[in-house]
Structure 1
Amino acid sequence: MLFNSIDFAIFLPIVFILYWFVFNKKLKFQNFLIVVASYVFYGWWDWRFLSLILFSTLVDYTIGKLLLTERNKRKRVLLLWLSIVVNLGFLGFFKYYNFFLDNFVAAFSFLGKPINPQGLNIILPVGISFYTFQTLSYTIDVYKNKLKPTKDFIAFSAFVSFFPQLVAGPIERATNLLPQFYKKRSFDYTKAIDGLRQILWGLFKKVVVADNAAKYANLIFNNSDDYSGSTLLLGAILFAFQIYGDFSGYSDIAIGTSRLFGFNLKQNFAFPYFSRDIAEFWRRWHISLSTWFRDYLYIPLGGSRGGTWMKIRNTFIIFLVSGFWHGANWTFVAWGALNAVYFLPIMLLDKNRVHTNNVVAEGEFFPNIREVLQVGSTFLLTVLAWIFFRANSIHHAISYISNMFSKTIFSVPENLPLITIVFIVFCMVIEWFGRENKFALQSLGFKWPKIIRWGFYMLLILFIIQFNGGEQAFIYFQF
């Protein structure tokens, strides 16, 4: 079920009314409703994949209970690896089976020994990368004694399948979300209104910015040999805003929807295109995934505590794995590798922690010249990397970049999508004014006269209705 669909517009009020007015007598009833609603929400795509969520839930719930009583270190390690193998095994089969098979065949053909194994027509379950990492983090935290395993199967099932963030995150840690299912929740009008504002902004970014940018970005990328360098640059920039509006829009809707039901999810985007270097960008982009890899892969590998070689090795591992997590294509690996190359000089010069606790031009209306240059150069490096992310193949990406950096890059782009560019600028202006908050509309306009503030909200709703391009799926559903 898509957030930007009529189905969800009907589904959400029904669940909201049942949750607060029918099942509000007991906490267990509310949690059970969330499980049922989440399974309906997910099963809307394909009910057969519900068995995967249920199986993953049963496996990690059982292993968590066994870890509670097991004191033998060797057996605890075996239980942990059972969870890792089962979760990553499912993920690997559905997401990477044909990728490894195709590359296996290509390798043998290169050696002069062609083989013809049978491939499988595998459908990738929506959101499997997200809920797999969510359940896996629970088992790891229980194993490390950072979290007490739950005995409440309904609460655990609700944690795994929580519908607002089930399909594309944020990837929640059990240490944050699971305890919220144990506590009685009361309706909070202020929190609900705050959630509605975040939903509204998320829908604007998805429907108005991302979906309209996608029309031109897809046209340019799919016919890149036919366009000038300036148009190719425009296509790459449009894709940068497409993926940002699409993914951060989803996160805003997910977080806002959760607040309607009394839950607080972690911030997943912190205005990443206002970053002053690549290190800051990765602290602000897809925060739940970046911190997941940091805590469960980078730090266990030694992090940055070792020598120079270890720092370089761990940096490349974390970015390459992050790239491969996004999809079974060498383009994603190349995207991760390029970001690692960007990151290395900052890390080796010990400058990767410069911009950690503040935002660009904090407390100021405009940035200074240095900040403009820092933000602009970081954005352009990011746009260049996004070309590999969007391209169909490594060859396509290299060809795209080669054609882009031709003398025609100084020409006027063909068929400028002016209204889309206006909406992108409008979006960035609003985000600039709200950059010191957790989302753009969190406190923006509170000092305005009420009629102006509500007029602004109605304007956003009008844009969403007028420039809605249909029920377009979110980009990260394929990951």
Structure 2
Amino acid sequence: MFFNSWAFALFLPIVFILYWFVFNKTKTAQNALLIVASYYFYSCWDWRFLFLLVFSTFLDYYTGIRIEKSTSEKSRKFWFWLSISVNLGFLGVFKYYNFFAGSFAEMMSAVGFKSSPFLLNVVLPVGISFYTFHGLSYVIDIYYKRIKAEYNFVDYSLFVSYFPLLVAGPIERATHLLPELKEKRSFNYEQAKAGIYQFIWGLIKKVVIADGCATYANAIFDHHESMNSLSLVLGAVYFAFQIYGDFSGYSDMALGMSKLFGLELLRNFNYPYFSRDIAEFWRRWHISLSSWFRDYLYIPLGGSRGGTWLKVRNTFIIFLVSGFWHGANWTYVLWGGINAVYFLPLLFSSSNRNHMDTAKLGWRWESIRVFGSMLLTFALSCLAWIFFRAPSISDAFGYIERMIVNQKWASQYLENERYNYEFVALVGLFVLVEWYNRTKQEPFSGRYSWLKISLGIITLLALGTYSDYKEFIYFQF
């Protein structure tokens, strides 16, 4: 069941009505309803993997309590590493086993040894990377005594399985979400209205921008050998907006529907394509994942403390692991490595925290430099996205090579249902709307909100009708 499906359009109002009008007596009843709804939501994808979600939930709940109650450091470490090992073990088997087995076989073949690796014929459980990281952060925080263990199994189960964030984040922290789940919620009209606005804006990002861009991006990437330089540049730009509209759209819908239930989730995107350098980009893109790796990997490794080479090592580790988290393919690892290389000049010059505010443009010479830095950062991101999108490293290099050497800039007609020039104009309009509203979470709030939401709904009905209702990209991670 996808957020952009008719089934979900029926599911969400039913849960909302039951939540506020039937199960509204106690917070336990509210949480229990959301757990049932979350398990049903997840089972619509594949009910057989519910056992994995339930087992992971019980494992971290139980080990968290055991860690807190342990009277010796040896016992604390045993339960801590049991949880870490089992969680990462499940993630490794389902997500990475075939990748490592296949890569090892290819390496052996390269040196003259033929092998037939045993591969698992299993489907990657949707959302496993997200709910596994929920549990890992919870157990780590208990082990380092940042939080207390949660003894209410209902509350903890909802923290792990809450359906708006279950399959594609944001990656929540127990320090943020659990306190909300332990309080009874009362209906707040203004909060619910803001939630509806944000949900609709996320839906527009997905079905109008992301799905539209996907049509062109797929056509160009799948036939890049016959495309000219202009088309290949457009393909990279289309994919950049596809993945942004797809993932930030999902996050907006998750945050929006959570407000309908009186819950506030962590913000996951903050207009990353208006960043002035790659460090700012990563503070604004997939914020919950970036901060997770910062707090649970980068800082424990030493962070920016120590000598230059230690900083370089930690930077590459954080980006390479981040790339590998996204998928079992060397293209993701290389994508992470490219971003690490982008980051190094900022690290060496100690300028990686220069841009902590929101970019501004005005009628002054400084604006030219700001605009140029945003354009360069976006171009570097698009170049890296080619490796993220391409099926193999050789395809990515082939794409870039043809983009550089072809040097033909005439417009090519792509045979699909959408017109190229009109859609470029639509993406340009989307960028202007994003820029104008870059200090807000969605563009419908403020003055003339009803007019803006009406225009948004008209756009959704007029252009979203043509959406192919594609899956969300991050469902595969």
Please name the residue that 1:471 is paired with: 469
Please name the residue that 1:350 is paired with: 350
Q: Tell whether 2:68 aligns with 1:68.
A: yes
Mapping of residues 162-311 of structure 1, within 5 Å: 162-311=162-311
Change (3 A) 1:227 1:7: same
Q: Which amino acid aligns with 1:350?
A: S
Aligned-pair CA distance for 1:106: 1.2
Please name the residue that 2:443 is paired with: 441
Aligned-pair CA distance for 1:436: 1.0
Q: Which amino acid aligns with 1:441?
A: P
Please name the residue that 2:426 is paired with: 423
Distance 2:113 2:228 in 1: 42
Q: Which amino acid aligns with 2:420?
A: P
Deviations 1:158-214 (A, max 9, x none): 110000010000000011011111101000000000000100110000000000110
Q: Which amino acid aligns with 2:65?
A: K
Deviations 1:95-153 (A, max 9, x none): 01110000111122122221213212120000100100011100000111111111100
Distance 1:461 1:217 in 2: 21
Distance 2:248 2:456 in 1: 19
Contact residue 192 and residue 259 of structure 1 kept, 8 A: yes
Distance 1:394 1:465 in 2: 33
Distance 2:75 2:450 in 1: 64
Contact residue 204 and residue 464 of structure 2 kept, 8 A: no
Please name the residue that 2:46 is paired with: 46
Contact residue 98 and residue 120 of structure 1 kept, 8 A: yes
Matched-pair identity in % = 54
Please name the residue that 2:405 is paired with: 406
Contact residue 96 and residue 328 of structure 1 kept, 8 A: yes
Query: How many matched pairs?
Result: 473
Q: Tell whether 2:382 aligns with 1:379.
A: no
Distance 2:450 2:394 in 1: 54
Change (3 A) 1:451 1:254: closer
Change (3 A) 1:173 1:366: farther
Distance 2:451 2:363 in 1: 24
Q: Which amino acid aligns with 1:353?
A: R
Q: Which amino acid aligns with 1:424?
A: V
Q: Tell whether 2:364 aligns with 1:360.
A: no
Deviations 1:397-417 (A, max 9, x none): 000000001242533344461
Change (3 A) 1:442 1:301: farther
Q: Among residues 432, 436, 443, which one is paired with 2:435 in the alignment?
A: 432
Tell which deviates more after alignment, 53-62 or 99-108: 99-108
Distance 2:283 2:335 in 1: 17
Contact residue 231 and residue 414 of structure 1 kept, 8 A: no
Aligned-pair CA distance for 1:365: 12
Change (3 A) 1:409 1:273: farther
Change (3 A) 1:292 1:451: closer
Aligned-pair CA distance for 1:22: 0.1
Deviations 1:191-249 (A, max 9, x none): 00000010011000000000011011011101110111111111011000000000000
Please name the residue that 1:127 is paired with: 127
Aligned-pair CA distance for 1:371: 1.0
Q: Which amino acid aligns with 2:192?
A: A
Give the TM-score normalised by the residue count of structure 2: 0.96
Distance 1:60 1:464 in 2: 44
Change (3 A) 1:126 1:454: closer
Q: Which amino acid aligns with 1:470?
A: D
Contact residue 208 and residue 460 of structure 2 kept, 8 A: no
Q: Tell whether 2:13 aligns with 1:13.
A: yes
Aligned-pair CA distance for 1:425: 1.4
Contact residue 208 and residue 463 of structure 1 kept, 8 A: no
Contact residue 209 and residue 420 of structure 1 kept, 8 A: no
**Counterpart secondary structure, 2:316:** helix
Contact residue 269 and residue 284 of structure 2 kept, 8 A: yes
Change (3 A) 1:367 1:204: farther
Distance 2:50 2:365 in 1: 49
Distance 2:6 2:405 in 1: 45
Q: Which amino acid aligns with 2:442?
A: A
Tell which deviates more after alignment, 76-85 or 181-190: 76-85
Q: Tell whether 2:457 aligns with 1:458.
A: yes
